[in-house]
């Protein structure tokens, strides 16, 4: 049977596109075409293991231009393979120490407390936008990137736009491209200033590490590529706003989780289980893709060399074979559960040091735990608004961005 190009269906169906195709396909291995290229869709922990085997897939040419020119940037670690990938990835991994993550969380909580103090006048605030500003302040302080208070709002707006526009052909996409041009120019100047000594940044900070990183040729990165990678620390940290807004949505729908979060110490096991369930339950990255390096065989089916192979993240996080009642929000499902390298994959699977799995998962979980705990301790009203989450929109979020009014600030 001829495979029709399904790009339009993806844009229309969003997160449901690949799971729907899988449900309609005997054996569950989807064959389709995406942007004119032959594509195969897989799902499940064994598929994830297959996907993350470097002997099977390469990333270099897998990401479409619309994702490179918005979300990740040209020359990003996401687009490297083999030895070059490992060297660049090691640069990111050096930032992910326990002390580093604690420092980032500390800067972010300070910014949160200052921000919440400014809401005391009872005005309505959009949580999504406010958390983005909090995270922008926290991550810029942590990375050593100078940012005046007066520039926080425009920076946060750009950083959100980079994520918001990667999977659409409309105005959100063009906003994202413009935001990338601005933010790469901003950070390339930071890199140049660090190198020339015009800007002094803390040793070991992301600005320091990225500015002085050398590639496999022994040379410093081109300032634009260095800017891309510094942005690949700052932009996804600010993207944690999506998860915090989802966490607020969960606390609103299931208020029984407020007390165990409020009474914990912010790092306790319930806060962690809640954060993991937010990452599993709510939609964010729909799938990841790679190209077959040679003719491959998956469960007896042939995957031709050069085919695009998609791993269905959203589908796997809602797979009833892996998660009991997958459409129930239940943090307790993580109580005592050992999370395997290939089962909970909202930020990719496998080993982050050697493969393409997100290096920022510990940061994401730490920030989400800390911010959710703070949120559970706040007293606020939730006025009438559209809290619907459309699965057709990638990335999804509560339509209103979660509007709240503080009733009484508390510790
Ligand atoms: C890669 C999701 C937060 C830095 C990825 C990938 C996903 C993802 C799906 C691709 C995995 C793959 O290709 O196999 C997310 C989500 C986040 C988040 C949903 C939370 C909002 C972070 C943070 C950082 C970060 C906080 C850094 C501070 C990166 C980098 C890569 C990556 C550098 C490329 C890794 C590689 O290609 O080797 N992320 N991420 N992410 N993420 Fe994250």
Instruction: Give residue-wise pLDDT tens across range 107-140.
Output: 999 999 999 999 987 889 999 999 999 999 999 9
pTM above 0.95, yes or no: yes
Phi, psi of 393 (to 5 degrees): -95, 120
pLDDT at 8 over 90: no
With tokens 């735990």, the residue in question is 369
The two beta strands, 30-34 and 124-126, are unpaired
Is the Cβ–Cβ distance between 391 and 283 less than 8 Å? yes
Q: Which of 358, 364, 371, 394 to mutate to test the pocket of ligand 1 (most atoms within 8 A of CB)?
A: 358
Q: Give the number of the atom of ligand 1 that is nearest the alpha carbon of residue 80.
A: 37
Distance from C-alpha of 252 to C-alpha of 82, rounded to nearest angstrom: 45
Residues of the domain holding 366? 7-408
Instruction: Give residue-wise pLDDT tens across range 159-205.
Output: 999 999 999 989 999 999 999 999 999 999 999 999 999 999 999 99
Q: Compute the distance from residue 33 Cα to the ligand 1 centre, in Å.
A: 25
DSSP per residue, 209-238: HHHH-B-TTSPBPPHHHHHHHHHHHHHHHH
Residue of minimum CA distance from atom 33 in ligand 1: 232
Is the Cβ–Cβ distance between 140 and 147 less than 8 Å? yes
Instruction: Give residue-wise pLDDT tens across range 288-316.
Output: 999 999 999 999 999 999 999 999 999 99
The answer to the question of residue 335 being in a domain is: yes
pLDDT for res 411: 46
Distance from C-alpha of 46 to C-alpha of 52, rounded to nearest angstrom: 10
Number of domains observed in the structure of the chain? 1
pLDDT for res 7: 86
Q: What is the rounded radius of gyration, in angstroms, for the C-alpha atoms of the chain?
A: 21
The answer to the question of residue 2 being in a domain is: no
The CATH number given to whatever domain includes residue 326 is 1.10.630.10
- CB atoms inside a 10 Å sphere around CB 136: 29
291 torsion bin: left (phi>0), alpha (psi -120 to 50), beta (else) = beta
The answer to the question of residue 1 being in a domain is: no
Residue of minimum CA distance from atom 24 in ligand 1: 360
Which ranges of 264-403 does DSSP label H, i.e. alpha helix?
A: 269-281, 313-316, 361-377
- CB atoms inside a 10 Å sphere around CB 338: 6
Residue of minimum CA distance from atom 36 in ligand 1: 356
Residue 289, strand partner residues: 310
Instruction: Give residue-wise pLDDT tens across range 238-259.
Output: 999 999 999 999 999 999 999 9
pLDDT for res 374: 96
Pocket of ligand 1 (CB under 6 A): 77-78, 89, 92, 232-233, 236-237, 239-240, 242-243, 284-285, 288, 346-348, 356-360, 363-364
With tokens 């700052």, the residue in question is 234
Is the Cβ–Cβ distance between 402 and 249 less than 8 Å? yes
- Taking CA atoms, 255 is separated from 51, 349, 351, in Å, by 38, 31, 35
Helix 240-253, helix 223-238: angle, nearest 10: 10
Tokens of 101: 């993550």
ipTM of the complex in this document = 0.99
Which ranges of 4-54 does DSSP label H, i.e. alpha helix?
A: 7-13, 17-23, 45-51
**Average pLDDT, integer, range 80-94:** 97
């Amino acid at each position: 049977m001829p495979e029709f190009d399904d790009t339009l269906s993806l844009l229309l169906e969003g997160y449901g596109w690949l799971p729907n195709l899988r449900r309609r396909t005997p054996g569950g291995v989807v064959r389709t075409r995406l942007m004119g290229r032959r594509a195969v869709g897989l799902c499940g922990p064994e598929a994830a293991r297959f996907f993350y085997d470097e002997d099977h897939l390469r990333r270099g040419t897998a990401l479409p231009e619309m994702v490179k020119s918005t979300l990740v940037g040209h020359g990003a670690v996401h687009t490297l393979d083999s030895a070059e990938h490992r060297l660049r990835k090691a640069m990111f991994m050096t930032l992910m120490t326990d002390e580093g993550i604690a420092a980032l969380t500390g800067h972010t909580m300070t910014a949160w407390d200052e921000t919440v103090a400014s809401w005391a006048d009872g005005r309505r605030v959009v949580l999504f936008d406010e958390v983005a500003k909090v995270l922008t302040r926290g991550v810029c302080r942590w990375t050593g990137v100078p940012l005046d208070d007066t520039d926080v709002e425009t920076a946060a707006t750009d950083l959100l736009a980079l994520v918001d526009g990667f999977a659409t052909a409309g105005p959100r996409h063009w906003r994202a491209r413009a935001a990338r041009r601005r933010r790469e120019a901003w950070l390339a100047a930071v890199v140049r200033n660090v190198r020339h000594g015009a800007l002094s940044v803390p040793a070991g900070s992301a600005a320091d590490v990225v500015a002085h990183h050398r590639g496999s040729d022994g040379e410093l990165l081109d300032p634009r590529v260095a800017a891309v990678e510094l942005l690949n620390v700052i932009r996804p940290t600010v993207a944690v706003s999506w998860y915090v807004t989802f966490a607020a949505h969960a606390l609103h729908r299931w208020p029984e989780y407020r007390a165990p979060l409020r009474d914990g110490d912010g790092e306790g096991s319930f806060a962690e289980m809640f954060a993991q369930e937010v990452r599993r339950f709510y939609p964010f990255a729909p799938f990841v893709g790679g190209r077959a390096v040679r003719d491959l065989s998956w469960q007896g089916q042939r995957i031709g060399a050069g085919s695009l192979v998609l791993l269905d993240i959203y589908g796997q996080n809602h797979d009833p074979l892996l998660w009991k009642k997958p459409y129930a929000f239940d943090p307790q499902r993580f109580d005592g559960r050992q999370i395997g390298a290939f089962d909970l994959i909202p930020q990719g699977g496998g080993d982050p040091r050697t493969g393409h799995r997100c290096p920022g998962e510990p940061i994401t979980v730490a920030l989400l735990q800390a911010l959710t705990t703070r949120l559970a301790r706040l007293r606020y009203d939730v006025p009438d608004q559209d809290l619907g989450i459309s699965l057709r929109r990638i990335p999804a979020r509560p339509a209103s961005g979660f509007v709240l009014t503080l009733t009484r600030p508390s510790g």
